[in-house]
Amino acid sequence: MTPMPGIVPHRHCPVCGKAIEPDKVFCSDECEQIMARERKRQRNFMIVMFAVLTALLILIWLPR
């Protein structure tokens, strides 16, 4: 990305959207912890959905 005149190179925090230095990912430890909790929540949700799907497929294919 080419720098625009008058705009300092920066990124934005994926949690709160604040402008941060280009070499940082999060603006604070608090935002980093929020993102870690969200990733863990998403991972747990995917595990539960996979378990439910697996259980449903097993129930469908069981002989009656």
pLDDT at residue 7, as a whole number: 84
pLDDT at residue 62, as a whole number: 87
- Beta carbons within 8 Å of 34's beta carbon, 6+ residues apart: 15
Residue 15: inside a domain: yes
pLDDT at residue 63, as a whole number: 78
Domain that holds residue 27: 11-61
Report the number of distinct structural domains present in the chain. 1
pLDDT at residue 2, as a whole number: 64
Residue 5: inside a domain: no
- Beta carbons within 8 Å of 20's beta carbon, 6+ residues apart: 10, 11, 12, 13, 26, 27
Q: What is the pLDDT of residues 27-54, one digit of tens each?
A: 999 999 999 999 999 999 999 999 999 9
Residue 2: inside a domain: no
What is the rounded CA–CA span in Å between residue 42 and residue 33? 14
Cβ burial 43-60 (10 Å sphere, 16+ → b, else e): eeeeeeeeeeeeeeeeee
Residue 1: inside a domain: no
